[in-house]
Chains A and B, each alone.
Chain A
């Protein structure tokens, strides 16, 4: 029972990271119907920037804030510079551009920072918390990770639901034609969507890297799990992204915990298994809206 609780809490903490990446993918998907394969690369790059700032200032929080700001700038710049010219052209063009952007960012990181593994500091202690004498399997930093992603998700949800800017973004995502005809500058809204996605990716990067080390490809596997979470939840659903991330995090934690030493090697296979099962039962993801088909 104690193990179960530990694995669950640990899974929820990692699941929040997957949820952040999944949410960033959903934000872009809803606006442009494009899967941003560079999302992990962008998160990796902003984490390098954070590490540089921390190294020069000695302040974790300075690095944290700069990483988020860099995520916003990188997201918006990527949309303006390379994605916007490809919109309205064959869909594959933009997909290939995001793959190219990923290769570019990972290449630049290799050139600027080298390929060696770097450790990344944490904001809080990574010593496991205990309830009495019982270890909970999570640290203060894990709690911070969960709360940070939760706060970002709630802020986004409230912003989308209750502000005019959020209404603009939802209108543009659901029906760009009507939105444009109503005076909403959809191109600007899409840029904001990419900026927010960049912010979420940057957040995921600085939160997950203490567990994975930092190197040019360090976010690749996180991106794959985030993508899996987004597909599980339904690429159109922000709530689905969060639930998909948590579900994936918990199941992978159980797999890693209960399957012994081979468990951690099997995580990718388990994730694939979940993906296949969900797609067989709900091809558009768990939280996809009901499709109406004229017959």
Chain B
């Protein structure tokens, strides 16, 4: 497993056309921690992840991975640097089988082509951890249920051996029981695999329950950043920005 990396966002400005979606956002995520990014729709949460992973080119500011400046790198370069981004609702490739989706996780490994034995070992590890995927390895990913798809996305992240995992609304549209399973998996990825996780969630209560730190965005600006427990007990903040 790769070594965990710290992620620092400094004065990041990003947007679309004339719209400024992120306005001088500064966030620090320590190695092997979970940072929950919270806020209402349009707060800039998804744009933040897209700017970190290279899907959106920042207009100003810096993205630092273990202190190294990675600002403006392409998504391919960021993936190869160890940043895995699971976008909201489109993490699996429905037309490929479960196994092929998992193999895609190896595409960011260093070198031209992964050794067959290494790839097989990584897939075996994923199947061991996610037994339901082992039973469906030859099925098209499009035939999986919502919960199974999220498991597949997380399993693929495990195969990719990322140092930083950006998760955008992983519990969106899932039944409460499945949502709990997904959140448990997120915690295990951080604790057992030492992955630094930045978690964007509408379910603020659930996200703060598993996160080490929380950041609240509003209209593209950071309005609060503290350890998760402090944010969860701040009644005014919860009422104003988090809706619980």
Contacts and interface: CB of A to CB of B under 8 A. Distances in A.
A174 B93 contact: yes
Contact of A182 (B74, B95, B105): B105
The dominant DSSP class at the B interface is mixed
Contact of B75 (A170, A171, A181): A181
- Lowest 6 A-B CB distances belong to which pairs? A183-B108, A183-B79, A180-B75, A174-B95, A175-B93, A183-B107
Interface class of chain A by DSSP: helix
Interface in A270-294: 289
Interface string A98-137: 0000000000000000000000000000000000000000
A181 B53 contact: yes
Interface of B: 53, 55, 74-76, 79-80, 84-87, 90-96, 100, 103-105, 107-109, 113-114, 156, 160
A177 B105 CA distance: 14
B107 A182 contact: yes
Contacts, number: 70
Interface of A: 164, 167-168, 170-171, 174-175, 177-186, 289
Contact of B160 (A164, A167, A182, A185): A182
Nearest to A174: B95
Contacts of B109: 183
B53 A167 contact: no
Given A170-B100, A178-B92, A179-B107, 13 more contacts: A164-B107, A168-B107, A171-B93, A174-B96, A175-B90, A175-B93, A181-B79, A181-B86, A182-B84, A182-B160, A183-B80, A183-B109, A184-B107
12 contacts: A170-B96, A175-B93, A177-B55, A178-B90, A179-B93, A179-B107, A181-B75, A183-B79, A183-B109, A183-B160, A184-B76, A184-B107
B150 to A, nearest CB: 14
Nearest to A168: B107
B91 A182 contact: no
Nearest to B104: A182
Nearest to B114: A164
B55 A181 contact: yes
Contact of B87 (A181, A184, A186): A181
Contact of B103 (A167, A174, A175): A167
B76 A186 contact: yes
